[in-house]
Amino acid sequence: MKQLVGFEIKVRGPFDISNQISPILSPSSPNSSNLSPSNLNPSHLSRYLSRYYEPSPRHILLNSLSNDKCWDVLFMIAGGTGITPMLQLIKYHLNYLNQSPNRNFKLFLLFANETISDIFYFKYLEHLVAASNGKLKITYILTRPPSNWEELSGHINEDILCKWLSNNYIPDGLDQVTENGNSTYYMKRYMQALIQDSKHTIKLITCGPPLMIDSIEESLNNIGFPINDKAIFIR
């Protein structure tokens, strides 16, 4: 809750989420049982999001350099309730896709939680993936995973970020480069290619607890990610 209050203050405007925080952050409260996307059938999901996740093209998290405000490649990292602005961004891009089916973009979400029961709107997120026609990919990471957990576990660190970025998106001009057993060398080439990729608008947006965001920012900086130009951190 604390980090989202700060977020609201920083970006207050046409995309203001101040009136939407209460229903979104209280899925377990007595009055919220009918508000959770996980409790809605698919025919009602669009109406739900139109009410709680309606973005504006003028919002600073969208791509001001593009007429449609979409990013070509959008990496999103969320911790717990930090999923809120990511849902807004995903909704905006997928809504635009309904209007322009030939628009080509890629959305990647790394969603961190402590336990599997802490994952907000798991069923709805999977619905979004299924409805995205391959344009949205979600990776989950838990610090306390169950014994049969098959996705990522632990805290987000440099190694996880390197693999998550490079496994999901290959920058223009890097397709002929192989790792050759030297991951440090490969990631250096990868980051150089990412910086020089002029064909695509690329952004990485992170929202979550302040300590988590501080750690991710440090890790991204250590692996050479261009945080000044291509990253936004919401604490």
Q: What is the mean pLDDT of the chain?
A: 79
**Lowest mean pLDDT: which of 6-10, 25-29, 205-209, 218-222?**
25-29
Residue 16 lies inside a defined structural domain of this protein: no
How many domains does the chain divide into? Answer: 1
Provide the percentage of residues in the chain whose pLDDT is more than 90: 65
pLDDT value of residue 179: 52
**Higher per-residue confidence, 11 vs 50:** 50
pLDDT at 38 over 50: no
Please state, in angstroms and rounded to a whole number, the distance separating the CA atoms of residues 204 and 108. 9
**Higher per-residue confidence, 128 vs 28:** 128
Do 64 and 56 meet the contact criterion of CB atoms below 8 Å apart? no
**189, 197, 199, 200: which is closest to 223 by C-alpha?**
189
Instruction: Say how many C-beta atoms besides its own lie within 10 A of residue 77's C-beta.
Output: 27
pLDDT at 132 over 60: yes
**164, 213, 165, 219: which is closest to 191 by C-alpha?**
165
Residue 225 lies inside a defined structural domain of this protein: yes
The residue segments making up the domain with residue 156 are 57-234
pLDDT value of residue 36: 39
Residue 41 lies inside a defined structural domain of this protein: no
Residue 46 lies inside a defined structural domain of this protein: no
Binding site membership for FAD: which residues? 84
Residue 81 lies inside a defined structural domain of this protein: yes
Binding site membership: which residues? 84
Sheet-wide strand order for 106-113:
152-153, 136-142, 106-113, 73-79, 202-207, 231-234
Do 79 and 207 meet the contact criterion of CB atoms below 8 Å apart? yes
pLDDT at 8 over 60: no
pLDDT at 33 over 80: no
pLDDT at 14 over 50: no
pLDDT value of residue 35: 35
Can you state the angle between helices 2-11 and 210-222, rounded to 10 degrees? 70
pLDDT value of residue 178: 53
- In this prediction, residue 78 has a pLDDT band, given cuts at 50, 70 and 90, of very high
Give the tens place of pLDDT for each residue, 139-176.
Answer: 999 999 999 999 999 999 999 999 999 999 999 878 64
Residue 190 lies inside a defined structural domain of this protein: yes
**229, 185, 223, 222: which is closest to 204 by C-alpha?**
229
Please state, in angstroms and rounded to a whole number, the distance separating the CA atoms of residues 225 and 231. 9
**Lowest mean pLDDT: which of 23-27, 131-135, 195-199, 212-216?**
23-27
- In this prediction, residue 135 has a pLDDT band, given cuts at 50, 70 and 90, of very high
Residue 177 lies inside a defined structural domain of this protein: yes
Question: What is the signed CA dihedral for 200, 224, 137, 35, rounded to 10 degrees?
Answer: -100
Mean pLDDT of 197-221: 96
Looking at this protein, which amino acid is placed at residue 205? I
Give the tens place of pLDDT for each residue, 81-128.
Answer: 999 999 999 999 999 999 999 999 999 999 999 999 999 989 999 999
Please state, in angstroms and rounded to a whole number, the distance separating the CA atoms of residues 189 and 28. 46
Residue 18 lies inside a defined structural domain of this protein: no
Do 3 and 235 meet the contact criterion of CB atoms below 8 Å apart? yes
Q: What is the CATH number of the domain that holds 212?
A: 3.40.50.80
Residues β-bridged to residue 109: 76, 138
